Amino acid sequence: MPEGDVVLRTARRLDEAFAGAVLRRAELRWGERDASVLVGDVTTEVVARGKHILHRTRAGWTLHSHLRMEGSWHLAHAGERVPARPDVRAVLATDAWIGLGLRLGMLDLLRTDDEHRLVGHLGPDILGADWDEDLAVRRLGQSPSPIGEALLDQRNLAGVGTLYASESLFLERLHPWARADTLGAETIRRLVRRAHRLLHANVAHVVQSSTGSRRNGENAYVHARSGRPCRRCHDTVRVAMIGDAPTRRTMFYCPSCQGGLAPGDDGAPQQPLGAGSRGRHRGYSARGRA
Ligand SMILES: [Zn+2]
């Protein structure tokens, strides 16, 4: 699942391709909205806000997209043959570039002045230029939710998804189901700094890693590794759901390193996740959310 680092990298690539150029095509193939108003308009910038992408134009429009579980933006040079595919939800083109929004999880066209309606609820952006660590620490420290759930709640801080939540909690040896407001500010600050470092370290990389290795199967400590041995203590990594519907998410953890089983986890053996070589996380996400 795309997290803040992937979203930021996507926004930067779109910004490099589109900023300052006239839009020659603008089509939304999903939902009711008509983007023809953007044709002839000029992109001013494309920015990330948490996991949201905001494509802004000179005439004051914002095309908002969200990658959700498996969305992406694909860039091609104008004139390059782009295969027809059914999962294209948005097409933007300049004289030089074509951008295809694939399997996007949200797509809206709105006035830039109204962006707050879509992103105003977000907490400080962990990868934003205006990142406010103190505010994030304060919000987490006031949350009565399990720390793993609070860390994923974009209202507390924006940009952390299941990969970096699991990995940060493991690295800080925190039980994901510990109530956030019992942990103390210093513990929370260490956790937030850990997540911040991990996300920053990955902005420039296609393969996300928390271990320092980008080799397949070696790039995470616990994420997507349930049923496999912990890299630190060799106990078996487990997975459980955290949070309530509709925002229930998967959380991977090591019971030995992180202070015990999840509430409701009976400790029954869990099968290692599909041993596929590529797309390990994607494969899990599809099943884990079912
Ligand atoms: Zn362990």
Residues 75 and 163 in one domain: no
Residues 100 and 25 in one domain: yes
Residues 155 and 275 in one domain: yes
Number of domains in the chain: 2
CATH code of the domain covering residue 47:
3.20.190.10
Instruction: Calculate how far, in angstroms, residue 256's C-alpha sits from the geometric centre of ligand 1.
Output: 5
For Cα atoms 116, 119, 123, give the angle at the middle one, nearest 5 degrees.
115
Residues 145 and 206 in one domain: yes
Instruction: Calculate how far, in angstroms, residue 220's C-alpha sits from the geometric centre of ligand 1.
Output: 13
Q: Is residue 126 in a domain?
A: no
Tell me the C-alpha distance between 135 and 123, whole Å: 8
Instruction: Calculate how far, in angstroms, residue 162's C-alpha sits from the geometric centre of ligand 1.
Output: 18
Tell me the C-alpha distance between 41 and 56, whole Å: 10
Instruction: Calculate how far, in angstroms, residue 35's C-alpha sits from the geometric centre of ligand 1.
Output: 50
Residue partners of 97: CB distance under 8 A and separation at least 6:
17, 18, 21, 75, 76, 77, 78
Residues 137 and 109 in one domain: no
| pLDDT for 273 | 83
CB 217 within 8 A of CB 279: no
Range of the domain at 63: 4-119
Residues 115 and 221 in one domain: no
Residues 252 and 216 in one domain: yes
Domain final residue, candidates 62, 84, 119: 119
| pLDDT for 33 | 85
Tell me the C-alpha distance between 190 and 91, whole Å: 42
| pLDDT for 237 | 97
CB 202 within 8 A of CB 211: no
Residues 232 and 193 in one domain: yes
**Residue 67 in 3-state DSSP?**
coil
Residues 83 and 44 in one domain: yes
Residues 140 and 254 in one domain: yes
| pLDDT for 217 | 86
Residue partners of 210: CB distance under 8 A and separation at least 6:
163, 164, 167, 168, 171, 198, 219, 220, 221, 223
Instruction: Calculate how far, in angstroms, residue 290's C-alpha sits from the geometric centre of ligand 1.
Output: 27
Neighbours of ion ligand 1 (CB under 5 A): 230, 232-233, 235, 254, 256-257
Domain final residue, candidates 119, 147, 168: 119
List, for the chain, all residue ranges whose pLDDT scores fall below the cut of 50: 275-290
CATH code of the domain covering residue 220:
1.10.8.50
- pLDDT tens per residue, range 11-20: 999 999 999 9
Report the catalytic residues.
2-3, 51, 249
Query: Exposure of 278 by Cβ count < 10 A (0-12 exposed, 13-18 middle, 19+ buried)?
Result: exposed
Q: Is residue 34 in a domain?
A: yes
Residues 105 and 230 in one domain: no
Q: Is residue 12 in a domain?
A: yes
Q: Is residue 125 in a domain?
A: no
Q: Is residue 127 in a domain?
A: no
Instruction: Calculate how far, in angstroms, residue 22's C-alpha sits from the geometric centre of ligand 1.
Output: 53
| pLDDT for 106 | 92
Q: Is residue 270 in a domain?
A: yes
Beta-ladder partners of 251: 240
Residues 114 and 222 in one domain: no
Residue partners of 258: CB distance under 8 A and separation at least 6:
169, 170, 173, 174, 175, 176
